[in-house]
Amino acid sequence: MARRAPGADGPLMVAMLQTSPPRYPAGLLGLACAVGLLLGHSGQSQAAAFGDLLIVHVSVVSPERSAVLRNVDVTVHDGRIAAVAAGLQSGAAPASSGIRTLDGSGLYLIPGLIDSHVHLGWIPGMTEEQEHAHPDIAQAARAQIPRSYLYFGFTTLIDLISTPTAMARWQAHDPVPDTYFCGAAALMDGYPSNYLAKPERYAQFPYMIVEPDSAAALPPGIEAAAHSPQAVVARMKADGAICVKTFFERGFGAVHDLPVPQASTVRALVQAAHAAGLPVLMHANSDEAQRFALDTGVDIIAHGLWNTTERSATPGELTPATKAILDRVIAGKVGWQPTMQVLYGLQNLFNAGFLSDPMLARVLPQSLMDWYAAPEGQWFHDEILADLAKDAPGTPRADLRVDLSGPIGTVKAATEYLAGHGARLLFGTDTPSAPTYANPPGLNQWLEMHNLLDAGMTPTQIFEAATLANARALKLDAEVGTVQVGKRANLLLVRADPRRTIDAYTSIVEVILGGRVLDPRQLAAAGAGAGAGAGAAARAAP
């Protein structure tokens, strides 16, 4: 089922993932991920030159160290961590030196957080047509979104379906998290390109894969040789992508017979990607898809498991077949992103209280919140409601709502099982996974942390998943993920130890991005008010 609005400079393309079990409304459960606003040109973020920094008397919590490093000083030079040691402050940083000193007494210095699954091309809940109709609301939203990620401590993001043009538009913001992208190696006419009309889809998926069998049906202007796994990987690598995203999705709702790649195609893609040093992520959220991902050797499964062929008699209990999949994830050290907010982001469209959550004001401009609450902003809710009504004729509309408790129970049990068996869990939210306003940037990451805690992950596991585990999985660990000399100074100064409590991430005193010190109160949306910032009190001296 497509939710899209064609526009002048690129489609807002929303795909819905996976096959829905019959007891869910048509198309609904598929709604997740694979949303891409493909716009056009880019590169990676570069550290701007900021003054040097000295953080004194701070406790360092970094994932490669098992213990807190107490009362040390940390220096930052040219955007990178230059030293982590005791006693550095003596003789350093006279006021005239231009070195800014932060007093870290009573505070913790931790790595900036990484979300390895986001989509940055569009405004949650808004189609491209609506964006054109409300340029002021859209402009305020686009200006705020990068700041909202930073506000909640996310200094590194990976957009899993992008292009250099789309990246350039995003990188033009200031400040903006360090952002990297994957190219989307989608099968020609398969998910998620099927949601775009032909031939537009071919232009919007420059890294699509053409299998030899389909070469006879190629549209004019498309050369099969340019869309082999090897050619596609070479092109995305040259364009600056750091990873390859591929898909196994037969569809859902009215769409259920989409072509899926052959195992040999994905194995060739993985081989080419690995030769180029790029990890491969696969959209896979059913048991069939996750088995396929394991069979073909992809590095990261970009969703939790929520659709299974067999269901356990006891809700939330894993079947032997599901456990067998998860055991392979563990043994193969395959990265696994639970992405539980995908499901809550749909359910919460039917939660009347969601839009009055005071936390929203920290990450969204007032004008956008007002628009969400207005009839026009309810368009996606209304589309889903219409589907629900079709599936349940005679039910009063007020009683219709999305209930994903089944898939939530499955993904929760699966996450708990993986967390208990040392799996390589990665923090990825798929923000926004559908055109839902219930995936607000920054806040969505905070909500996902609660989901993970609820699914049995410890604060330490969440901390590692959002820092070093993500950095390693995306081959960014030479740059970010720990508080170590030589790494980019993407750091958070917080009031609590993140190994003890996730409240560390709502007690941020300073966000440090490539050595640049950002005040959370300045990152919050304007409507949040001075007292609402993460670091409202106990700020370090400038």
Chain positions contacting Zn ion, by CB under 5 A: 33, 430
Give the nearer residue to Zn ion in terms of CB position, either 278 or 524.
278
Residues facing 508 on adjacent strands: 494
Q: State the virtual CA torsion across 356, 359, 365, 366 in degrees, nearest 10.
A: 30
Q: Which candidate, 269, 234, 231, places its Cα nearest to that of 248? A: 269
Minimum Å gap between C-beta 330 and Zn ion is 23
Output the smallest distance, CB 532 to Zn ion, in A.
Answer: 29
Nearer to Zn ion, 33 or 340 (CB): 33
Q: How far is the CB of 36 from Zn ion (least distance, A)?
A: 8
The two tokens of residue 405 are 């408790």
Point out the residue whose Cβ comes nearest to Zn ion.
33
The least distance separating Zn ion from the CB of residue 174, rounded to whole angstroms, comes to: 26
Residue among 14 and 60 whose Cβ is closer to Zn ion? 14
CA–CA separation, 207 and 38 (whole Å): 12
Adjacent-strand bridge partners of 37? 12
Beta strands of 11-92 (E only): which ranges?
A: 12-14, 35-37, 53-60, 69-77, 80-85
Q: Which is nearer to Zn ion, 283 or 487 (CB)?
A: 283
Please report how close the Cβ of residue 66 comes to Zn ion at its closest, in angstroms. 33
Buried (b) or exposed (e) across 304-322, using 16+ Cβ within 10 A?
Answer: bbbbbeebbeeeeebbeeb
Q: Which is nearer to Zn ion, 81 or 411 (CB)?
A: 411
Task: State the Cα angle at 95 between 89 and 99, rounded to 5°.
Answer: 65
Do residues 319 and 312 touch, judged by C-beta distance below 8 A? Answer: yes
Compute the least distance from the CB of residue 454 to Zn ion, in Å.
Answer: 22
Q: Which of 440, 321, 539 is CA-nearest to residue 531?
A: 539
Q: Are strands 100-103 and 154-159 parallel, antiparallel or unpaired?
A: unpaired
* Contact assessment for residue 490 and residue 156, using Cβ atoms and an 8 Å cutoff: yes
Residue with smaller CB distance to Zn ion, 187 or 528? 187
- DSSP symbol at 506: G
* DSSP assignments along 108-139, one per residue: EEEEPEEEEEE--SS-TT--HHHHHH-HHHHH
Q: CB-wise, 385 or 447, nearer to Zn ion?
A: 447
Nearest distance from C-beta of residue 86 to Zn ion, angstroms: 44
CB-nearer residue toward Zn ion: 14 or 494: 14
Beta carbon nearer to Zn ion, 430 or 448: 430
State the nearest-atom distance from the C-beta of 117 to Zn ion, in Å: 6
The angle at the Cα of 441, spanning 520 to 50, to the nearest 5 degrees, equals 40
In the complex, the smallest distance separating the C-beta of residue 431 from Zn ion, rounded to whole angstroms, is 9
